[in-house]
């Protein structure tokens, strides 16, 4: 009996010791994990910083830093770090940055800014920071070591993610300066409300009309998710109710981006003295280019126009040879340089119109260009003739005194 008791005591003692070792090993493992990304090599332009350093930057008055949360939707929606606008966190999943096309989109939204990338503990943010650096991002990139886990451990504030309710003053601050990234105001009102006037934002943060009924259709919602994936969108309506419902629709569809709801809608916007406007068509474009060139040559034409609201502009071009082209969107101050070539000789009439951000079209402008026979083609004909009729070369020289 005494032997059995002794054995039992030994077994219990071993279990306690082993538990202590296990706890210690777990603690050491966590410490190792938190420190791993503090010592791993970082790409050029990436700097590690602690959560306290991040907090100090985001609450300082010296410059503007933008936190980028690269966690999954199910992590972002319940909780995020809590910092005030315009240094509030934006949501851009790591898996979006791993797609070259969407990584390029991220750079277009935040290039040249100072960004602080964070995740749960520091691993995914380390990967994301290096990906952004590899994409030739021109701003400063910080990786927040320890992530939101360490942020909470240090007693720093958090708030629910998901939908961020913001005031019209917040919207005005975000959408009149692209130094804080690019935000897309989304007007979800009915057509008669839209045509009576919408919030006035300068390009590229111009208001986009996307009604709530359209978001309630499968095709409309899918198109919205494709068009704005990874973007910051600000929903607004007349008073704030439809915009909140629209926000829930896209969040429920696993939208990968940052969702804001403008409290009080356009009613509060006007009450604050902020401008609204209607839209007018741009002026007919000016076309500059040669009036004569060769078949098969790459010929450059320049298109420009003016618009009373300074909206973004694209150009619809009929090249006169059966081909048509719709260009990318250009700022009103930019000149669009477009290359075209004609394969056959002839006189071609180029017809172009300017189309603004809202789809309003200008009058047409025409431009004529003459394309003679390609000299290379003429040379090929002569070579064929001389090969077929060798004596023709002597006759040719005699006639022209060569």
Does any domain span residue 296?
A: yes
**Looking at the structure, do residues 49 and 145 belong to the same domain, yes or no?**
yes
Beta-bridged to residue 236, according to DSSP, are 187
CATH number at residue 169: 3.40.250.10
Does any domain span residue 391?
A: no
Residue 388 — very low, low, confident or very high, per pLDDT cuts 50/70/90? low
Q: Collapse the DSSP code of 22 into the 3-class scheme (helix H, G, I; strand E, B; otherwise coil) and give the result.
A: helix
**Looking at the structure, do residues 125 and 45 belong to the same domain, yes or no?**
yes
DSSP state string for 26-76:
HHHHHHHHHHHHHHS---TTEEEE-HHHHHHHHT-SS--EEEEE-S-HHHH
- Taking residues 146-161, report their average pLDDT: 97
**Looking at the structure, do residues 323 and 272 belong to the same domain, yes or no?**
no
Q: pLDDT tens, 25-36?
A: 333 333 333 444
> Which pLDDT score is estimated for 8?
45
**Looking at the structure, do residues 148 and 169 belong to the same domain, yes or no?**
no
Does any domain span residue 359?
A: yes
- Taking residues 212-230, report their average pLDDT: 96
Higher pLDDT residue, 5 or 141?
Answer: 141
Beta-bridged to residue 339, according to DSSP, are 300
> Mean pLDDT score of the chain, rounded to an integer?
87
Query: Domain ends where: 159, 186, 214?
Result: 159
The parent domain of residue 62 ranges over 40-159
Does any domain span residue 355?
A: yes
> Which pLDDT score is estimated for 4?
46
**Looking at the structure, do residues 249 and 169 belong to the same domain, yes or no?**
yes
The count of domains in the chain is 3
> Which pLDDT score is estimated for 3?
47
Q: pLDDT tens, 321-351?
A: 999 999 999 988 899 999 999 999 999 999 9
Residue 20 — very low, low, confident or very high, per pLDDT cuts 50/70/90? very low
> Which pLDDT score is estimated for 390?
64
- Is this model's pTM higher than 0.85 or not? no
The answer to whether residue 63 scores a pLDDT higher than 90 is no
Query: Domain ends where: 129, 159, 189?
Result: 159
The answer to whether residue 11 scores a pLDDT higher than 80 is no
Does any domain span residue 400?
A: no
Does any domain span residue 128?
A: yes
Q: Are 117 and 70 a contacting pair, CB within 8 Å?
A: yes
The answer to whether residue 134 scores a pLDDT higher than 70 is yes
Q: pLDDT tens, 258-275?
A: 999 999 999 999 999 999
**Looking at the structure, do residues 147 and 48 belong to the same domain, yes or no?**
yes
Q: Inter-axis angle of helices 241-252 and 218-228, to 10 degrees? A: 80
The answer to whether residue 42 scores a pLDDT higher than 70 is no
> Which pLDDT score is estimated for 19?
39
Does any domain span residue 394?
A: no
Does any domain span residue 377?
A: no
Write out the two tokens for 295: 């078949």
Query: Domain ends where: 124, 159, 194?
Result: 159
> Which pLDDT score is estimated for 381?
54
CATH number at residue 321: 2.60.40.10
């Amino acid at each position: 009996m005494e032997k059995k008791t002794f054995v039992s005591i030994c077994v219990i003692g071993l279990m306690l010791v082993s538990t202590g070792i296990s706890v210690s090993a777990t603690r050491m493992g966590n410490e190792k994990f938190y420190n791993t990304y503090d010592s791993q090599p970082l790409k050029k332009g990436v700097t590690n910083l602690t959560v306290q350093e991040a907090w100090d930057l985001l609450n300082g008055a010296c410059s503007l830093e933008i936190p980028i949360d690269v966690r999954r939707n199910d992590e972002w929606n319940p909780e995020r770090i809590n910092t005030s606008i315009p240094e509030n966190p934006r949501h851009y999943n790591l898996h979006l940055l791993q797609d070259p096309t969407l990584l390029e989109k991220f750079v277009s939204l935040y290039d040249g800014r100072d960004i602080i990338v964070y995740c749960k503990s520091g691993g995914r943010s380390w990967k994301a920071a290096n990906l952004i650096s590899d994409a030739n991002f021109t701003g400063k990139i910080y990786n927040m070591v320890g992530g939101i886990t360490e942020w909470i451990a240090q007693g720093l504030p958090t708030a629910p993610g998901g939908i961020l309710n913001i005031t019209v003053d917040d919207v005005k601050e975000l959408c009149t300066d692209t130094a804080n990234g690019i935000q897309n105001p989304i007007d979800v009102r009915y057509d008669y409300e839209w045509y009576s006037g919408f919030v006035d934002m300068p390009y590229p943060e111009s208001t986009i009309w996307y009604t709530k009924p359209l978001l309630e259709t499968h095709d409309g919602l899918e198109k919205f998710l494709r068009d704005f994936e990874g973007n910051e969108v600000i929903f607004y309506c007349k008073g704030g109710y439809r915009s909140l419902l629209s926000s829930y629709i896209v969040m429920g569809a696993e939208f990968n981006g940052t969702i804001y709801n403008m409290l009080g809608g356009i009613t509060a916007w006007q009450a604050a003295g902020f401008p609204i406007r209607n839209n007018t068509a741009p002026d007919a474009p000016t076309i500059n280019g040669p009036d004569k060139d060769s078949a098969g040559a790459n010929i450059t034409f320049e298109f420009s126009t003016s618009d009373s609201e300074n909206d973004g502009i694209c150009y619809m071009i009929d090249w006169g040879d059966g081909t048509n082209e719709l260009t990318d969107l250009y700022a009103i101050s930019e000149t669009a340089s477009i290359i075209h070539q004609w394969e056959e000789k002839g006189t071609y009439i180029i017809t172009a119109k300017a189309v603004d951000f809202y789809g309003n079209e200008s009058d047409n402008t025409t431009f004529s260009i003459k394309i003679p026979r390609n000299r290379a083609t003429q040379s090929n004909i002569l070579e064929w003739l001389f090969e077929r009729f060798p004596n023709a070369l002597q006759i040719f020289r005699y006639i022209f005194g060569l």
